[in-house]
């Protein structure tokens, strides 16, 4: 039996069934749409959160975003990007041209090449590039860009997108670090870095070169392994006190190399703090000053020692005299300063050369050094002068014994370059504190005593006295006044008659210089001539007298006076210059005087100082046509073999041999011998210093040719001599 429903019921059931399906489908669709909407909202929120985090991260990193749409040819720059360049957000616009105008010219080629490579390879790998962009203030900033290429579904380049950040300071820091690294490795100063616990963490190549320790040997060690042991605890306490209070210390320190050698350093130590202000490191920079120390010692030695003799020099000698004075004041002791000057040392230099002279000085220094006892200092003060400080000398007698010992030690011959040389010494002695309590004054006193010893005949010694100081002061004042006399034309030329003994007629005059002082009147030649010789002014004076005398002689000849010649003295200083013939020739040309009317008188000692040079000069003078005379004959050490070669016309017998005539047999014998010698050589002979008639009579008997002296007339101005000549008085001598 089949169950069947009526048609209306069946239709209602089908309707309900369809309605249920629609409701179910609608509910399912709603559920799906609702779920999709929720997921979409969550994704949007996540995207917003991601974007927010990205912007916050970029802001924290002070960076920006850029997005280059390669298909639309537009570029997006985030506000953070434009802020990197100090610009407003809209300043760069949305195209590449504005951006590229700010790109540094040197970076444009590199940037274009990089873009071309990306486009050609379509590489989507992330990339990083740095370039410089111009800031609003005109400067260029280093920008680091990180990005990647995005492709569309067809594999075509769609976007270049990425981030940018300002790395200008980072680049500067990197450059500074590179420079510091180069300096660190290349510097000649050693560098040592320790941590806060004073363990070595780094050193440079110079450290290894200076100390001998390699980096592997020193890392982790304490710098104390470099200590030399020369510094005590107080030294290091002071060092650490400076580091703790000032953060730095510098000074000289002695350390030890790996080899064990102790050497000096100049070291600077600084404290390095971290961000929290805590000590993180110590950095020591040091230089090896061994060479500098040696140089300083050498310079100090050279500054205080004579390079020729290796003896203390004047500076060190004076310092030791000062110290000796201080000890003497403290201990109540006494001492002596001796100045030792070699006699006639210049003859050795002039005849044998300065090389031989220097060798002789070295040998003299060695020989004198052998005489030194305790508490004595020998120094070379300059030239041929030595100084001796004797701190143990308690009396003048003891100083005299020492002076005699020094002179005795000099008596033996010196052998220099296979030559035997003999030299003597004069010594001046000053005692302290009796003579002075000042080092400079003591040396000056000894110098005054030395001058006295030399004037006493050389190879002698003399003690200082107050009279010597007064005399020395007068000599200094006289030298100054003499220089003013030359400038102010205070010098005068006086003329003394020269007589022919045969008929007792005036045949010529000798020109003699005088000084007409504005306050003192006429100054005696004996006062200023020695000073002129010492100061070197004598050569200037001689040249002046020569010219004045020649002019005066021409004036006399023009006036018709019957004088045959004028005789002019030439000092040894002017003669030794070797240019006398040129000077004479100039004067003769300037004054117009005939050469035969001029007679030059040269001392015997000046000729014998350097006989060969003197002979050559005399021959040149003789060639000018003038007459030559040897003055003070018999007082020097003439060689007869040389004398016969000299082109002279006259010998002048010194007044010391004439003064004893006619009663002193020795003077008579010497005078007779000189006359015989001169005449045998074909020379005229003149006797000077005649004051008595009996001297005239004897000289006439002996055949003397010419004479001069007070008996015939004193030196007088030209005006007085003219009066005598023009009055035509009897020229026979009368007592003056």
What is the distance, to the nearest Å, from the Cα of residue 41 to the centroid of all Cα atoms in its chain?
A: 91
* 366-385 residue pLDDT tens: 999 999 888 899 999 989 99
What pLDDT is attached to residue 704?
A: 94
Q: Could you count the other beta carbons within 10 Å of the beta carbon of residue 69?
A: 14
| Chain length of the chain | 736
Q: Is 62 helix (H, G, I), strand (E, B) or coil?
A: coil
Mean pLDDT (the chain, rounded) = 84
Residue 289 φ/ψ, nearest 5 degrees: -105, 25
Residue 593 — very low, low, confident or very high, per pLDDT cuts 50/70/90? very high
Residue 204 φ/ψ, nearest 5 degrees: -105, 170
What pLDDT is attached to residue 545?
A: 92
Gap between the Cα atoms of 389 and 392, Å rounded: 9
Tokens for 607, please give them: 């000729």
pTM, two decimals, is: 0.47
Residue 536 — very low, low, confident or very high, per pLDDT cuts 50/70/90? confident
Tokens for 322, please give them: 């000062």
What pLDDT is attached to residue 501?
A: 93
Gap between the Cα atoms of 394 and 410, Å rounded: 24
State the average pLDDT over residues 701-707: 93
Q: Which of 624, 632, 574, 577 is nearest to 599 (CA)?
A: 624
Instruction: Determine contact, residues 606/614, Cβ cutoff 8 Å.
Output: yes
What pLDDT is attached to residue 4?
A: 59
Instruction: Give helix then strand counts, H and E, for the chain.
Output: 26, 26
What pLDDT is attached to residue 727?
A: 57
Instruction: Determine contact, residues 568/559, Cβ cutoff 8 Å.
Output: no
**Taking the C-alpha atoms of 474, 475, 478 and 479 in order, what is their torsion angle to the nearest 10 degrees?**
-150
Q: Could you count the other beta carbons within 10 Å of the beta carbon of residue 214?
A: 12
For 305-464, CATH number?
A: 3.30.70.270
The percentage of the chain sitting over the pLDDT mark of 90, rounded to a whole number, equals 29
What pLDDT is attached to residue 628?
A: 92
Q: Pick the residue with more confidence: 679 or 605?
A: 679
State the average pLDDT over residues 596-617: 83
**Taking the C-alpha atoms of 729, 733, 734 and 736 in order, what is their torsion angle to the nearest 10 degrees?**
100
* 246-262 residue pLDDT tens: 889 999 999 999 999 99
Gap between the Cα atoms of 432 and 447, Å rounded: 14
Comma-separated ranges of CATH 3.30.70.270 domains in the chain: 305-464
Looking at domain 58-169, its CATH architecture is 2-Layer Sandwich (3.30)
Gap between the Cα atoms of 205 and 217, Å rounded: 13
* 394-429 residue pLDDT tens: 888 788 888 888 999 998 999 988 888 999 999 999
Angle, CA 664 vertex, CA 663 and CA 665 arms, to 5°: 110
* 308-365 residue pLDDT tens: 999 999 999 999 999 999 888 888 888 999 999 999 888 888 888 889 899 999 999 9
Gap between the Cα atoms of 648 and 642, Å rounded: 12
Gap between the Cα atoms of 572 and 425, Å rounded: 22
Domain 477-726 has CATH 3.20.20.450: yes
* 93-102 residue pLDDT tens: 888 888 888 8
Gap between the Cα atoms of 225 and 230, Å rounded: 13
CATH topology of domain 187-294: Beta-Lactamase (3.30.450)
Q: Residues of 90-103 as b/e, b for ≥16 C-beta within 10 angstroms? A: eebeeeeeebeebb
Gap between the Cα atoms of 249 and 243, Å rounded: 6
Gap between the Cα atoms of 30 and 736, Å rounded: 168
Instruction: Determine contact, residues 313/295, Cβ cutoff 8 Å.
Output: no
Tokens for 527, please give them: 């006062």
What pLDDT is attached to residue 608?
A: 73
Instruction: Determine contact, residues 450/462, Cβ cutoff 8 Å.
Output: yes
Adjacent-strand bridge partners of 266: 252, 287
The gap between the terminal CA atoms of the chain, to the nearest Å, is 210
* 293-303 residue pLDDT tens: 887 777 888 88
What pLDDT is attached to residue 288?
A: 87
Instruction: Determine contact, residues 684/661, Cβ cutoff 8 Å.
Output: no
What pLDDT is attached to residue 159?
A: 85
Residue 639 — very low, low, confident or very high, per pLDDT cuts 50/70/90? low
Gap between the Cα atoms of 498 and 563, Å rounded: 10
What pLDDT is attached to residue 180?
A: 66
Instruction: Determine contact, residues 510/725, Cβ cutoff 8 Å.
Output: no
Gap between the Cα atoms of 609 and 614, Å rounded: 8
What pLDDT is attached to residue 183?
A: 67
User: In the predicted model, is pLDDT for residue 59 greater than 60?
Assistant: no
Residue 736 — very low, low, confident or very high, per pLDDT cuts 50/70/90? very low
Residue 135 φ/ψ, nearest 5 degrees: -80, 165
Contacts (Cβ under 8 Å, ≥6 apart) of 396: 429, 431, 463
* 269-290 residue pLDDT tens: 999 888 888 899 999 998 888 8
Q: Could you count the other beta carbons within 10 Å of the beta carbon of residue 717?
A: 14
What is the distance, to the nearest Å, from the Cα of residue 375 to the centroid of all Cα atoms in its chain?
A: 33
User: In the predicted model, is pLDDT for residue 735 greater than 50?
Assistant: no
DSSP annotation string for 283-336: EEEEEE-HHHHHHHHHHHHHHHB-TTT-SB-HHHHHHHHHHHHHHHHHHT--EE
Instruction: Determine contact, residues 155/122, Cβ cutoff 8 Å.
Output: yes
Q: Could you count the other beta carbons within 10 Å of the beta carbon of residue 431?
A: 23
Comma-separated ranges of CATH 3.30.450.20 domains in the chain: 58-169, 187-294
What pLDDT is attached to residue 45?
A: 66
Q: Could you count the other beta carbons within 10 Å of the beta carbon of residue 119?
A: 13
Q: Could you count the other beta carbons within 10 Å of the beta carbon of residue 200?
A: 23
The percentage of the chain sitting over the pLDDT mark of 70, rounded to a whole number, equals 91
Gap between the Cα atoms of 378 and 380, Å rounded: 7
Comma-separated ranges of CATH 3.20.20.450 domains in the chain: 477-726
**Taking the C-alpha atoms of 290, 295, 296 and 298 in order, what is their torsion angle to the nearest 10 degrees?**
130
DSSP H helices, 635-688, are 640-643, 655-658, 665-680
* 112-141 residue pLDDT tens: 888 888 888 888 888 888 889 889 898 998
């Amino acid at each position: 039996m089949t169950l069947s429903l009526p048609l209306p019921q069946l239709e209602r059931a089908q309707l309900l069934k369809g309605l249920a399906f629609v409701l179910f489908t609608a509910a399912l669709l709603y559920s799906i749409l609702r779920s999709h909407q929720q997921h979409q909202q969550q994704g949007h929120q996540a995207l917003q959160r991601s974007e927010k985090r990205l912007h916050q991260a970029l802001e924290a990193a002070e960076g920006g975003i850029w997005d280059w749409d390669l298909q639309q040819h537009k570029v997006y720059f985030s506000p953070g990007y434009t802020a990197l360049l100090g610009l407003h957000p809209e300043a760069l616009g949305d195209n590449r041209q504005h951006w590229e105008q700010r790109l540094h010219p040197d970076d444009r080629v590199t940037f274009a090449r990089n873009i071309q490579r990306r486009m050609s390879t379509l590489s989507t790998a992330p990339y990083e590039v740095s370039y410089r962009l111009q800031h609003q203030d005109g400067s260029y900033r280093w920008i680091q860009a990180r990005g990647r290429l995005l492709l569309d579904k067809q594999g075509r380049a769609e976007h270049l997108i990425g981030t940018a950040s300002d790395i200008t300071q980072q680049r500067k820091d990197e450059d500074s670090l590179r420079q510091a690294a180069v300096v660190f490795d290349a510097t000649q100063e050693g560098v040592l870095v320790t941590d806060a616990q004073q363990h070595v963490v780094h050193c440079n190549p110079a450290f290894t070169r200076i100390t001998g320790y390699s980096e592997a040997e020193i890392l982790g060690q304490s710098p104390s392994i470099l200590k030399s042991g020369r510094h005590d605890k107080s030294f290091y306490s002071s060092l650490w006190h400076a580091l703790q209070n000032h953060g730095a210390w510098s000074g000289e320190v002695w350390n030890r190399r790996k080899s064990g050698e102790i050497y000096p350093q100049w070291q600077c130590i600084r404290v390095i703090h971290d961000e929290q202000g805590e000590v993180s490191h110590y950095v020591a920079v040091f230089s090896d000053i061994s060479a500098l120390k040696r140089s300083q010692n050498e310079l100090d030695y050279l500054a205080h020692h004579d390079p020729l003799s290796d003896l203390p020099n004047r500076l060190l000698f004076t310092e030791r005299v000062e110290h000796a004075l201080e000890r003497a004041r403290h201990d109540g002791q006494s001492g002596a300063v001796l100045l030792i000057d070699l006699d006639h040392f210049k003859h050795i230099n002039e005849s044998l050369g300065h090389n031989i002279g220097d060798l002789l000085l070295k040998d003299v220094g060695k020989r004198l050094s052998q005489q030194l006892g305790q508490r004595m200092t020998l120094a070379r003060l300059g030239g041929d002068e030595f100084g001796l400080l004797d701190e143990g000398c308690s009396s003048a007698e003891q100083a005299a014994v020492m002076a005699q010992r020094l002179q005795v030690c000099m008596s033996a011959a010196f052998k220099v370059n296979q030559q035997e040389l003999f030299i003597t010494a004069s010594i001046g002695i000053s005692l302290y504190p009796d003579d002075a309590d000042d080092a400079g004054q003591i040396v000056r006193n000894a110098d005054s005593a030395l001058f006295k010893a030399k004037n006493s005949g050389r190879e002698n010694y003399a003690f200082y006295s107050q009279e010597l100081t007064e005399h020395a002061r007068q000599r200094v004042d006289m030298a100054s006044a003499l220089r003013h006399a030359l400038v102010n034309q205070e010098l005068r030329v006086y003329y003394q008659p020269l007589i022919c003994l045969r008929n007792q007629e005036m045949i010529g005059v000798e020109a003699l210089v005088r000084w007409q002082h504005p306050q003192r009147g006429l100054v005696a030649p004996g006062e200023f001539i020695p000073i002129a010789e010492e100061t070197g002014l004598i050569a200037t004076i001689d040249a002046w007298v020569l010219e004045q005398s020649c002019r005066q002689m021409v004036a006399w000849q023009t006036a018709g006076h019957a004088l045959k010649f004028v005789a002019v003295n030439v000092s040894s200083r002017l003669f030794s210059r070797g240019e006398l013939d040129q000077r004479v020739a100039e004067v003769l040309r300037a004054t117009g005087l005939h050469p035969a009317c001029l007679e030059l008188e040269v001392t015997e000692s000046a000729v014998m100082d350097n006989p060969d040079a003197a002979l050559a000069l005399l021959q040149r003078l003789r060639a000018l046509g003038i007459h030559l005379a040897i003055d003070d004959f018999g007082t020097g050490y003439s060689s007869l073999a040389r004398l016969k070669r000299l082109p002279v016309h006259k010998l002048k017998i010194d007044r010391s041999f004439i003064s004893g005539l006619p009663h002193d047999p020795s003077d008579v014998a010497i005078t007779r011998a000189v006359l015989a010698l001169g005449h045998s050589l074909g020379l005229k002979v003149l006797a000077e210093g005649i004051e008595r008639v009996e001297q005239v009579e004897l000289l006439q008997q002996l055949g003397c040719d010419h004479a001069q002296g007070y008996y015939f007339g004193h030196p007088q101005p030209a005006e007085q001599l003219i009066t005598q000549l023009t009055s035509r008085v009897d020229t026979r001598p009368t007592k003056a």
